Structure 1
Amino acid sequence: MNRKERFMRQLEGKSVDMTPVGSTTTYGVVDIMKKCGAERPLADTDPQAMATLALGGVEYAGFEWVKAMGWDITPLSEAFGCELGEAKIDRQHSIASHPFAESIEDLEKPKDLLQRGRFPAYKEQFKILKDKVDDEMVIFGESEGPFTCGANLVGTESFMKWTFKKPNQVDQVLSVVKEGMIEVINFAFDHGADYYVIAEPTSGPALMSPKSWKKHVQPVITEIVQKIKGPLVLHICGNTDSIIEMMCETGVAGISIEEKVDLKRTVGIAEKMGVKVFGNVGTAQTLYSGTPEQAYQESIAALDNGTHFLCAACGIAPLSPLENVQQLRKARDDYFKKG
């Protein structure tokens, strides 16, 4: 089977010859940029440079599927009006303003949402990737999730306080953002995505209690899953042990977890619910600041613990050594040769 068949069969719960290996979050790694000649900030805005860097992950890191929609998780927030911080080769775009910090009275989904920000460039990037890899590799889109987008629009500190003091306003923001999220995800499927990832760092247990997550986040993601045209993968940063069941209950096809999470336990829970697990080789201590041997051994451990897709635990830091990143593919290949 080719790489696309392997990935989709694994996602659908069918038998495969080996575990797919890649990244289901951002991988704007400087070493890859320099090798393929597509460097940020151009690779954040130019469709050809975006596609070249996406394919660089395959050519130089050994990944088996490719990412569309740039190298940060700000596109929906940008389209709703957030200003972005300057991107550099080793720094992705960040949120620089919160347009609804003073009032959410005028918050509504822009009618021209998909003509704003970088969505026209993403449309062209999808076309380039489809022309190059359509029958050979899976393509995925990614953006921030609804709660993280809402926090970007209002300001994270205020939005978190609202979950206690103004919960109705949190839900009001999420009801608007949710509609934009559905439109964006279906845009990705319409232009060639095989699956989509939403990253929800702001709704992780480090910032939000499981009770609040169940009240505010779970219903929104559940509704999004019901209204989109393809499979969704949910990534949440930090130790998500306390909300794994709720993440799976949303109906997502997969969950992406960090190294702090008990992978073996998570796989056991997810498999009973028909959900696949992506992860969870550490990004900071291992891929960024560790040794190649540490990255290799952690990859083997993830395979031993049953990961369905061998990936980094989160977005791969720009200055991560390429040799460390390459250990995921090397470990996977060695693991199945021995088997």
Structure 2
Amino acid sequence: MKFDMKQWAAEYISSSTKKAMPILSFPGVQLTGHTVDEMVRDGHLQAVCMKAIADKFDTGAAFSLMDLSVEAEAFGSPVHYSEDEVPTVTAALVHDEDEAEALKVPEVGAGRTGECVKGIKEVSEMITDRPVLAGIIGPFSLAGRLLDMTEIMIMTYEDPEVVEIVLEKATEFLIKYAQAFKEAGANGIAIAEPAAGLLSPNLIKEFSTPYVKRIRESVGDDNFAVLYHNCGSVVPLLDNIREINAGAYSIGNAVDIEEALKAIPQESIVTGNIDPAGTFRNGTPEQMRKETLELLERCSKYPNFVIGSGCDIPPMTPLENIQAFFDAVKEFYEGK
């Protein structure tokens, strides 16, 4: 379903009641009866999972799976799979400048990327009442998986040229991947760039933001939104992050989201930031209601605030906790 995403965002911001936008997809395995392992390998099952979530919960947008191993695996990284947990990259692929130079940029379709595009193509025809956002990893976060996160942090100081070689190749691939999602029918992308939250203001300016901006400039338009997600300690980085000029920013629970709301222009949606592990996964319905209502009371005075989760909600999160979140959002707006 085609949406004018610029108009959609403007109407969302101006509306007095707002549907929540948690990063919610993996818990759908509990509704479909499939394992995480089965779903991450099969685009059709991904579409079925997203549709099941959309049918059960009144979300503002449908998010695809936040699986940050997909793109690194397409480059050749080893990945660990398990039945009920999100896959993870297990080892670095690039260790020095020679390996960085030799690293080949894959085509879309390598590894599981073809299945992810297939899933978005299917689900875009199944979910037509709200935008569908395809998930991709951010360039620095991808480079960190290819080089190892500890190593890349050292290399930003000691071997910045190697980091830049890998970032160029990562960004080249991510632009192609985002374009494939756009052609498949997605209404936008959610770029997950959590590793950039570890950088200083000077380093994010060099090693993340310019590359994220390049992706947005390559694919973003009135009909295709770019949401930027960073669940790191972003408060010192907000002046830089706002330069991405994303249509929406998803802020993690490591920070007070009000700091982001003060820094990010009001024409961009700011969503977050109920703790996905501590509250959604391991909390109680009562705790969920309390925290949701408190955050709404505090931040709904900002027109561009949309309540959501601080990051991807884990697969085995109790569905009653998720329902309590949506019930609390409904309770708040109906009581206004």
C-alpha spacing 1:269/1:210, structure 2 compared with 1 (3 Å):
same
Which residue of 52, 57, 65 corresponds with 2:48?
A: 52
Of 199, 203, 213, the residue aligned with 1:212 is 203
Distance change in 2, residues 1:14/1:236 (3 Å): closer
Give distance in 1, aligned partners of 2:309 and 2:175: 26
Query: Aligned partners of 1:10 and 1:329: how far apart in 2?
Result: 20
2: CA distance between counterparts of 1:127 and 1:290?
35
| CA–CA separation in structure 2 for the residues paired with 1:82 and 1:6 | 34
| Match runs of 1:268-283 below 5 Å | 268-272=262-266, 274-283=267-276
Q: 1:334 to 1:10 in 2, by over 3 A?
A: farther
Mapped pair 1:82 → 2:80: no
Write the letter of the residue equivalent to 2:87: H
CA contact (8 A) 1:200 1:234 kept: yes
Structure 1 runs, 4 residues or longer, greater than 6 Å off: 4-7
Structure 1 residue 277 displacement after superposition? 0.5
Q: Which amino acid aligns with 1:294?
A: Q
Which position in structure 1 is the counterpart of 2:189?
Answer: 196
What's 2:15 paired with? 16
In 2 relative to 1, CA 195–287 (structure 1 residues): closer, same or farther, beyond 3 Å? same
TM-superposed CA distance for 1:71, in Å, is 4.6
Mapped to 1, the partners of 2:108 and 2:5 lie a distance apart of 32
Q: CA deviation at 1:41?
A: 1.3
Q: CA deviation at 1:13?
A: 6.2
Q: Among 164, 173, 176, which residue is 1:180 paired with?
A: 173
Deviation at 1:169, TM superposition (A): 1.8
Identity %: 22
1:89-142: per-residue Cα shift (whole Å, max 9, x none)?
x211100232222421202323xx1121122222321232122123x1211111
For residues 320-335 of structure 1, the aligned pairs below 5 Å read 320-335=317-332
CA distance in 2, matches of 1:285, 1:130: 32
Q: Secondary structure at the match of 1:115?
A: coil
TM-score normalized with structure 2 length: 0.89
Aligned alpha-carbon RMSD (Å): 2.3
SS in 2 for 1:196: strand
Deviations 1:279-319 (A, max 9, x none): 11111221122221221122223323136322111111223
Letter in 2 for 1:155: D
Match of 1:311 among 308, 312, 326: 308
Q: Deviations over 1:261-282 (max 9, x none)?
A: 222232122134x321011111
Structure 2: 5+ residue stretches without partners: none
* Aligned-partner Cα distance in 2 for 1:123–1:198: 15
Q: Compared with structure 1, are the counterparts of its residues 221 and 35 closer, same or farther at alpha carbon in structure 2 (3 Å cutoff)?
A: closer
